[in-house]
Amino acid sequence: MRIVLKLLPVLILAVLPSCDRPAPTTDLPRPPIVIVGSPRYDYVVDYEEFTGRTEAVRVVELRSRISGYLMETHFVEGSQVELNQLLFTIDDRLFQAEFSRATANLKLAEVRVERQKRDLERAKRLRGTAAISEEEFDRFASDFAEGEASVGVAAALLKTAEENLKYTKISAPTAGVIGRRFIDPGSLVQADATPLTTLLVVDPLFVNFDIDDRTLLALRRVVDAGEVTLGPDRKTSIDIGLPDEEGFSLTGKVNFIDNKLDPGTGTIRLRADVANTKRLLTPGLFVRVRLPIGAKTKQLLVPKAAVSTDQGQKVIYAVNDANKVVRRRIAKVGKTYGQEVVLLQSEVQSSDRIIVEGQQRARPGVEVNPQTPKPPAPKASP
């Protein structure tokens, strides 16, 4: 009991200072920051996307016109070659000898026919006299005719020998990218049978893609209505996207539509040409093709990042004049154009401030602190 009485003053002194402290203040939570943007109206073209594949405009498989042993190659595999550039050399010694023999045979035939011509002219002067009979005259005439024919045969054989000699030098029939060689120097080349290499023309390139029957009918209707031009003179433009990009960096022109549908797939083949000056494309590459199938129409576009899903319903969260979140329902979404998407049926107005970043902190009725996107930082100089 004495111990408790002694400690009581100490406890009282310890409690009294705490009574003078002010009550703690409670700070209200600040509204969360969200990034807002604005919908906009713009003219866009309806389209469909397909998978295409690139193809060389021209593919040349080089073969020899003569048989012989390959002596040399004069190109770097996989390089660009120019028109008439020397590519292969075949052993020409036998062909050079054949050319020389054909040249000599032609000269011999020409000398022979010249002598036969003089004999015939003398026979003509003596014809009708006792110095020559009709039988002898006919023989001179026949010899001259045979001599002329021999000259023609010798000239043809010389031309053949000359062409064969030229064929020992195999040059590029067109400019393009050459592939690997299929045969090494020293090997025997069979005429018109042994493949030597392939040569591809890759600028421009073809892009082949198949469209379904519904898209074909839609395309035909807009062409008939004059909304899209299609044909040899007025070609439809298409957008082409590469496998390593999200957008469409290249454009092409449709220059061919097949004349019938494939009954097995219900599709029809279209072909477009695309410039390939930077050599980004190579034959056999898969690409994405965007084909316009309508005229330009004015549509409401919003950033793709603004579209959210709430209980299976696509919505957009907007900020009203009191900086509180309101929900805008979306009934139908259209095509995507870059980082924007078309709203075909929705409650969104062009004057709305829509949330493009921070939707996880936005709930209907909650006050937020709307901010506009910061401008991109300037790129550093190289």
In a domain, 2, yes or no: no
**262-to-51, 65, 216, 265, 372 alpha-carbon distances in Å:** 17, 38, 13, 6, 52
CATH code, domain carrying 357: 2.40.420.20
**Which pTM was predicted?**
0.69
What is the band of 362 on the pLDDT scale with cuts at 50, 70, 90?
confident
pLDDT single digits (tens) 36-52: 988 999 998 888 899 99
Give the range with max mean pLDDT: 64-68, 125-129, 231-235, 245-249: 64-68
Does 17 fall in a domain?
no
237 lies in the same domain as 120: no
* DSSP result, 143-159: HHHHHHHHHHHHHHHHH
Ranges 5-9, 15-19, 30-34, 125-129, most confident: 30-34
**Segment 72-92 mean pLDDT:** 95
Per-residue confidence (pLDDT) for residue 220, from 0 to 100: 83
Give the C-alpha separation, 299 to 344, whole Å: 7
Instruction: From residue 332, give the alpha-carbon distance in Å to each of 266, 272, 307.
Output: 28, 32, 12
Write the pLDDT tens digit of every residue in 274-286.
999 888 899 999 9
- DSSP, residue by residue, 289-330: EEEEEEEEEEEEEEEGGGEEEETTEEEEEEE-TTSBEEEEEE
pLDDT in tens, 179-201: 999 999 999 999 999 999 999 99
Least confident of 117-121, 301-305, 312-316, 376-380: 376-380
Do the domain assignments include residue 376?
Answer: no
Looking at the structure, do residues 264 and 304 belong to the same domain, yes or no? no
CA dist 75 and 90 (Å) reads 15
E strand intervals along the chain:
33-37, 40-63, 68-73, 80-81, 86-90, 169-171, 176-178, 188-189, 195-212, 237-241, 250-257, 267-274, 286-303, 307-310, 313-319, 325-337, 340-346, 353-357, 369-371
- Burial group, residue 127, by CB count within 10 angstroms (0-12, 13-18, 19+): middle
In this prediction, residue 6 carries a pLDDT of 53
Q: Is 365 found in the same domain as 314?
A: yes
188 versus 220: the higher-pLDDT residue is 188
Residue type, 147: G
* Structural domain boundaries, residue 277: 46-56+203-296
> Tokens 């290249």 appear where?
250
As beta bridge partners, residue 218 has none
Does residue 14 fall inside a structural domain? no
Confidence band for 23, pLDDT divided at 50, 70 and 90: low
The enclosing domain of 153 has a CATH number of 1.10.287
Residue 194: the pLDDT is 94
The reply to whether 277 and 209 lie within a common domain is yes
Q: What is the pLDDT of residues 285-302, one digit of tens each?
A: 999 999 988 778 899 999
Identify whether residues 248 and 302 lie together within a single domain: no
Question: How many domains does the structure of the chain reveal?
Answer: 4
Whether 69 and 189 share a structural domain: yes
